[in-house]
Amino acid sequence: MKMGKVALIILLTSILAACGGKSGQNSSSNIKGENFIKNLTVDDAGASLVLGKSALLSKEEVLKTLNLVGPVSSLKISKDYFANEVSADMQYKNHNVLVFGNVNDIAKDITGNPYLLLSGSGMFQGVHAQFDNNSENTLAKIKKGEKVALVCQINNYIMKNVMLNNCEFLTPFLIKNKDTLYTAVQNNIKTNWMIIESANYIDGDNICLTNDTKACLANIRIPENGNAVMSILADAEKKMLSNRTILEKKWRGDSRLSEQDIASRLKQFDEMALQNTK
C-alpha cells in the first residue's frame, strides 16, 4: 500500500487541479473517464482506510458507504473479547469488520479450508481468519510476520480465540464494491465536482482507462506508468480549460447547484485557467 499511497497522492493531486467537463464528448471517452475514476476511487479508498489520507472520500465516508466496522487491529479484537465477550459481540458481530493484523501462521483447518492466524492480545489468544478454498493461491504467497488488511465477519469466540469467517483481503473487497464507491463520489458533488467533470476529457490508451482495476492498481504503482497516466490528465486539462461557456451552461441547468455553488466553481475554473497561462 505504500507505493499505492505515492501513486494516489500524485495522480489525484493532478486530477483535482483539472476542473471542468465537456458536453458532446463521445461515449468512448465517457466510458474511459468513468473507468478511470472507479479505478482511482478504489485506490483512494484503500489509502483512506489504511493511511488515513484521501482525495475523494474520507475514511468515515468509505466505512459508511461500505457498511464496515473498524478499522481495528487483531490485537484489539482479541483484547475486547477477552475482557467481555458479550460487549465485544455487540460491537463486532453481524457486521463486516475491517481488521489489520500481523500473520503468525498460515494453515488449514480439519476440513481443508485455509486460514491465517493473526496476533492476539496474549499467549494462546489468537485471531483465526478463515477463507474459502478459492483463496488458496493468494494465501500461498503470504509470509509469517506480514501485516494484512482483511474484511471479515465474527463467527465465534472459542477457548480465548476469536474466529473470523468469510474473510477477504481489503483490495479485492474494494474492487468488488467499486460501483458503490463510485456512486458515493458522484453523490458528493460539491466536493468532488472537479474530478467528475475532468473525467469527460480523459482519452488515450492506458490500462487505467479500462475496467481492469486490479491491473490498473498494479500499473500505477510503477513510477513510469504513473507518469503516463499523468500525461493523459494533462491533455484532458488543456481541453477542459477551453470550455468555460459550455461548463457554465451545463451547471446552470443542474438543479442541485445553487448560484453560490456555480460562482465558486467558476472562480476555481478561472484561477486554474490563469495559472495555466503563466
Q: What is the pLDDT confidence band of residue 268, given thresholds at 50, 70 and 90?
A: confident
Count the Cβ atoms, other than its own, within 10 Å of residue 69: 18
Q: How far is CA 154 from CA 64, 112, 124, 147, 207, in A?
A: 19, 20, 18, 19, 37
By the 8 A CB rule, do 272 and 266 touch? no
Q: What is the pLDDT of residue 277?
A: 66
Residue 189 and residue 183: Cα distance in Å, rounded? 10
Domains, in order of start, for the chain: 2-64+177-277 (no CATH), 68-172 (2.40.50.140)
pTM of the predicted model as reported, rounded to 2 decimal places? 0.79
Q: What is the pLDDT of residue 169?
A: 95
Residue 241 and residue 17: Cα distance in Å, rounded? 11
Side chain identity at residue 226, one-letter code: G
> Does the pLDDT at position 51 exceed 50?
yes
DSSP helix/strand/coil, 93: coil
Grid cell at residue 236: 484532458
- Looking at mean pLDDT, say which of 12-16, 72-76, 237-241 comes out highest: 72-76
Question: Of residues 149 and 265, which shows the higher confidence score?
Answer: 149
By the 8 A CB rule, do 236 and 162 touch? no
Q: Which of 48, 161, 49 is nearest to 97 (CA)?
A: 49
Residue 45 and residue 136: Cα distance in Å, rounded? 25
Q: What is the pLDDT of residue 278?
A: 61
Mean pLDDT of 51-60: 84
Residue 101, beta-bridge partner list: 148
Question: Of residues 277 and 220, which shows the higher confidence score?
Answer: 220
Phi, psi of 131 (to 5 degrees): -120, 165
Residue 93 and residue 96: Cα distance in Å, rounded? 8
- 79-136 confidence digits (pLDDT tens): 999 999 999 999 999 999 999 999 999 998 888 889 999 998 777 788 999 998 888 8
Q: What is the pLDDT of residue 226?
A: 66
Q: What is the pLDDT of residue 15?
A: 44
Q: Report the alpha-carbon angle 238-20-258, nearest 5.
A: 155
> Does the pLDDT at position 159 exceed 80?
yes
- Give 57's DSSP letter: S
- 81-95 confidence digits (pLDDT tens): 999 999 999 999 999
- 250-262 confidence digits (pLDDT tens): 889 988 888 998 8
Listed range (138-142, 147-151, 227-231) with the worst mean pLDDT: 227-231
Q: What is the pLDDT of residue 33?
A: 80
Q: What is the pLDDT of residue 118?
A: 94
> Does the pLDDT at position 38 exceed 60?
yes
- 185-243 confidence digits (pLDDT tens): 887 766 667 777 777 777 777 888 889 999 988 887 776 666 777 777 777 777 777 78
Count the Cβ atoms, other than its own, within 10 Å of residue 202: 28
